[in-house]
């Protein structure tokens, strides 16, 4: 432990360093030095062994790992509630695409920042984003102090960001290099999907990701129509198609995965592919319910994603956890699937594993990054308390998160954002919309 780095003790009534009730520590504390957790234990123990260190003590507080959102389109916050309850193609073609074509860099950055304000205020400390003008997302994350994986979305047609496809591949390579050693931000390779990317593009993406030892992030098997299109074009399921192009591996993060054959699930298990489960978006857009209990049974790593605010309409992982734990039970008619612990695992270390970052985030342990949140348990809806994972999944809300630290840096204290000027972002969003929708 370097003595030149600032230390902080964060303590509360409970510490839940993992997703398991059995690991819960009463009167627990986390010692942070610089960006790193240096000790985890009881408050009195750590106070004794490290006297005189500044302390953030929250009576009635629960200290836990920050949540990890593995699939977002943060800049889509500006479309939240613009159009709902519509068939997917009407929604996209009549409402989202026309506005996306008019997006500019400042609006993307502002809208991403708005999503990040919401993420921090609902307990997320890491997220993985795919969008246009993705550099702006990275810049906003640097401002917000959020841990971020980001990729410029790639597809066969010209992009409002980079124009011709070859520029997109060049931009991605450049971003991978530029962010290689960034403490918070990591670039990824993001082909949009099997239905918007020709096999050649997918192969190029696969090589780029392999060369840079980077994550490859893509939408996969989201809708029935995607599966149908893929089968008729290539005679393969989307999963088989990606596999035939060499794109399925332990650094492949596949979002959605709603429509999988049993053989696709086996393939995911064999190739160690990671899944981002975006239940609320899949429900709202009527795509269906992904076979998550079956994937888990086969040992596939499952993480949670909110998708963008245009299709959810939020980026709140507490709400997502509650939906995930309930919906699979109701759909499978089995109350034992997706237990609170299984669900909390997916939202924490599962997300870390999906991002190939389990060595540094996802639980609270010495040597890991100090990405943690503090929940205020002293509330009617969290009373009484029998089991922490149960409360976190079934009863807690994003608004119960009162403090948040990312890489040891406080980003929210007593629900006041410290890295984002919330009122300014809200006010500027109003101005931006006047430009985006002049008739609006």
Residues of each annotated binding site for Zn(2+):
71, 73, 219, 307
Write each residue from 106 to 145 as x if it is in contact with a second copy (CB under 8 A), else as -, in one continuous string: --------xx-xx--xx-----------------------
In sequence order, which residues have a C-beta less than 8 Å from that of residue 248 and are 6 or more positions away?
A: 239, 242, 267, 268, 271, 273
- 8 or 327: whose CB is closer to a second copy? 327
- 213 or 431: whose CB is closer to a second copy? 431
Q: Which of 36, 188, 214, 313 binds a second copy (CB under 8 A)?
A: 313
- Return the HEC string of 166-226: HHHHHHHHHHHHHCCCCCCEEECEEECCCCCCCHHHHHHHHHHHHHHCCCEEEEECCCHHH
Site for a second copy in 207-236 (CB under 8 A): 224
- Shortest reach from residue 427's CB to a second copy, in Å: 9
Q: Is 152 exposed, middle or buried (0-12, 13-18, 19+ CB in 10 A)?
A: buried
* # of chain residues touching a second copy (CB under 8 A): 74
Residue 6 touches a second copy, criterion: CB under 8 A: no
Residue tagged 């943690």 (tokens) = 372
Residue 76 touches a second copy, criterion: CB under 8 A: no
C-alpha R_g of the chain = 21
Which residues is 65 bridged to in the sheet? Answer: 372
Site for a second copy in 331-350 (CB under 8 A): 331-336, 338-340
Task: Select from 79-87, 214-222, 242-250, 265-273 the region that touches a second copy (CB under 8 A).
Answer: 79-87
For residues 412 and 403, is the Cβ–Cβ distance under 8 A?
Answer: yes
DSSP secondary-structure letter at 25? E
Site for a second copy in 367-426 (CB under 8 A): 378-381, 383-387, 390-391, 394-395, 397-399, 422-423, 425-426
- Give the residue from 266, 326, 256, 261 showing the smallest Cα distance to 299: 266
- Shortest reach from residue 210's CB to a second copy, in Å: 35
- Shortest reach from residue 438's CB to a second copy, in Å: 15
Residue 77 touches a second copy, criterion: CB under 8 A: yes
Q: What is the β-pairing status of strands 409-413 and 401-406?
A: antiparallel
- 159 or 339: whose CB is closer to a second copy? 339
Backbone angles phi, psi at 369, to 5 degrees: -65, 145
Task: Select from 85-93, 123-131, 245-253, 403-411 the region that touches a second copy (CB under 8 A).
Answer: 85-93
Residue 73 touches a second copy, criterion: CB under 8 A: no
- Give the residue from 52, 60, 159 showing the smallest Cα distance to 105: 159
Q: Which helix (H) or strand (E) holds 435?
A: helix 422-436
Q: Which of 307, 314, 353, 376 binds a second copy (CB under 8 A)?
A: 314
Site for a second copy in 139-198 (CB under 8 A): none
Q: How far apart are the two ends of the chain, measured CA to CA in Å? A: 55
- Shortest reach from residue 365's CB to a second copy, in Å: 26
Residue 98 touches a second copy, criterion: CB under 8 A: no
């Amino acid at each position: 432990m370097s003595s030149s780095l600032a230390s902080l003790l964060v303590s509360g009534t409970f510490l839940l360093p993992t997703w398991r009730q059995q690991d819960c520590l009463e009167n627990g504390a986390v010692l942070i030095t610089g960006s790193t957790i240096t000790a985890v234990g009881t408050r009195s123990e750590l106070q004794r062994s490290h006297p005189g260190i500044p302390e953030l003590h929250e009576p009635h507080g629960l200290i836990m790992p920050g949540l990890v959102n593995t699939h977002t389109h943060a800049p889509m916050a500006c479309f939240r509630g613009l159009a709902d309850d519509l068939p997917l193609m009407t929604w996209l073609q009549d409402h989202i695409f026309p506005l996306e074509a008019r997006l500019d860099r400042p609006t993307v950055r502002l809208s991403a920042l708005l999503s990040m304000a919401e993420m921090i205020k609902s307990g997320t400390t890491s997220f993985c984003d795919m969008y246009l003008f993705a550099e702006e997302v990275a810049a906003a994350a640097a401002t917000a102090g959020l841990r971020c994986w980001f990729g410029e979305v790639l597809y066969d047609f010209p992009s409002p960001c980079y124009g011709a496809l070859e520029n997109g591949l060049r931009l991605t390579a450049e971003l991978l290099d530029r962010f290689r050693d960034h403490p918070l931000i990591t670039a990824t390779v993001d082909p949009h999907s099997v239905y918007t990317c020709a096999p050649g593009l997918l192969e190029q993406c696969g090589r780029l990701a392999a060369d840079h030892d980077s994550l490859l992030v893509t939408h996969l098997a989201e809708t029935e129509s995607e599966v149908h299109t893929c089968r008729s074009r290539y005679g393969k399921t989307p999963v088989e198609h990606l596999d035939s192009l060499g794109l399925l591996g332990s650094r492949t993060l596949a979002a959605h995965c709603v429509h999988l054959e049993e053989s696709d699930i086996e393939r995911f298990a064999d190739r160690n592919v990671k899944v981002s489960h975006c239940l609320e978006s899949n429900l709202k857009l009527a795509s269906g319910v992904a076979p998550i209990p079956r994937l888990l049974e086969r040992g596939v790593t499952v993480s949670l994603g909110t998708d963008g605010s245009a299709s959810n309409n939020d980026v709140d992982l507490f709400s997502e956890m509650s939906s995930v734990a309930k919906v699979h039970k109701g759909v499978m008619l089995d109350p034992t699937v997706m237990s609170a612990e299984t669900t909390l695992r997916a939202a924490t270390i599962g997300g870390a594993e999906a991002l190939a970052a389990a060595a540094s985030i996802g639980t609270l342990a010495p040597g890991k990054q100090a990405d943690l949140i503090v929940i205020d348990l002293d509330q009617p809806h969290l009373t009484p308390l029998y089991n922490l994972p149960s409360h976190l999944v079934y009863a807690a809300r994003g608004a119960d998160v009162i403090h948040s630290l990312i890489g040891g840096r406080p980003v929210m204290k007593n629900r006041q954002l410290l890295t984002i000027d919330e009122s300014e972002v809200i006010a500027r969003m109003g101005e931006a919309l006047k430009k985006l929708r002049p008739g609006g």
